């Protein structure tokens, strides 16, 4: 074998070694959609991964942030646009709709009923399980600013923080699995 080829193989082995060392048994997921079925999928996957002792980090951004709003909390001092987004977007996970076959809200009620009948955890229950199993939730600071949401109006969740995209990228770069929902 030529020296050049041996050097290339050695260099590739070093790169593979760095990649293997740099990944953790971790799932990093962008939760972008504000649709009920998609947030359900994100929470089912994340709680499933946590059940397998995998570290799970969710990054809620854009439309998904509305699901994290607490309908009981009122905050003041919002801009005109912040108030508009606040009125137009659902206030909390119980108000989000299905992405398909919503049927003027009946679809959401129907799927929730079917889930209950079949013993599938509801979205609030999935968030509770996620909290109990250490699933971390990061909320995109830029999305919150654009939509006029404030930290004080978000649900109480034990491991939730407001972060920039760089935090998600750092988490994702060392994660074995990255997903986008």
Three-state SS annotation for the chain: CCHHHHHHHHHHHHHHHHHHHHCEEEEEEEECCCCHHHHHHHHHHHHHHHHCCCEEEEEECHHHHHHHECCCCCCCCCCHHHHHHHHHCCCCCCCCCCCCCCHHHHHHHHHHHHHHHCCCCCHHHHHHHHHHCCCEEEEEHHHHHHHCCCHHHECCCCCEEEECHHHHHHHHHCEEEEEEC
- Is 10 inside any structural domain? no
- Is 12 inside any structural domain? no
How many structural domains does the chain have?
Answer: 1
pLDDT of amino acid 35: 96
Domain span including residue 109: 24-180
Q: How far apart are CA 44 and CA 35, in angstroms?
A: 14
Q: How far apart are CA 136 and CA 158, in angstroms?
A: 8
Q: How far apart are CA 57 and CA 16, in angstroms?
A: 24
Residue whose entry in the numeric block shows the structure tokens 């912040």: 82
- Is 5 inside any structural domain? no
From first to last of its 181 residues, the chain has per-residue pLDDT tens of: 678 888 888 888 887 776 666 678 999 999 999 999 999 999 999 999 999 999 999 999 999 999 999 999 988 888 888 888 888 888 999 899 998 887 877 888 899 999 999 999 999 999 999 999 999 999 999 999 999 999 999 999 998 999 999 999 999 999 999 999 9
pLDDT of amino acid 21: 62
- Is 87 inside any structural domain? yes
Residue whose entry in the numeric block shows the structure tokens 């998600």: 168
- Is 15 inside any structural domain? no
- Whole-angstrom CA distances from 59 to 8, 31, 32, 179 are 38, 6, 8, 10
Residue pLDDT, tens place only, 71-117: 999 888 888 888 888 888 889 998 999 988 878 778 888 999 999 99
Q: What is the CATH number of the domain that holds 159?
A: 3.40.1260.10
- Is 86 inside any structural domain? yes
The 10 Å Cβ neighbour count of residue 110 is 14
């Amino acid at each position: 074998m030529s020296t050049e080829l041996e050097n290339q193989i050695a260099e590739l082995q070093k790169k593979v070694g760095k990649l293997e060392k740099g990944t953790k048994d971790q799932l990093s997921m962008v939760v972008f959609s504000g649709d009920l079925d998609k947030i359900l999928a994100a929470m089912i996957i994340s709680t499933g991964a946590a059940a397998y002792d995998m570290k799970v980090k969710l990054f809620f951004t854009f439309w998904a942030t509305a699901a994290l709003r607490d309908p009981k909390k009122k905050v003041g001092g919002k801009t005109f646009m912040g108030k508009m987004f606040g009125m137009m977007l659902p206030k909390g996970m119980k108000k989000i709709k299905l992405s398909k076959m919503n049927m003027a809200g009946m679809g959401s009620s129907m799927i929730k009923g079917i889930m209950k009948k079949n013993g599938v955890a509801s979205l609030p229950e999935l968030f509770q399980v996620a909290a109990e199993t250490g699933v971390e939730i990061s909320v995109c600071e830029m999305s919150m600013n654009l939509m006029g949401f404030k930290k004080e109006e978000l649900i109480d969740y034990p491991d939730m923080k407001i972060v920039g995209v760089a935090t998600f990228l750092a988490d994702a770069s060392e994660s074995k699995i990255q997903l986008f929902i």
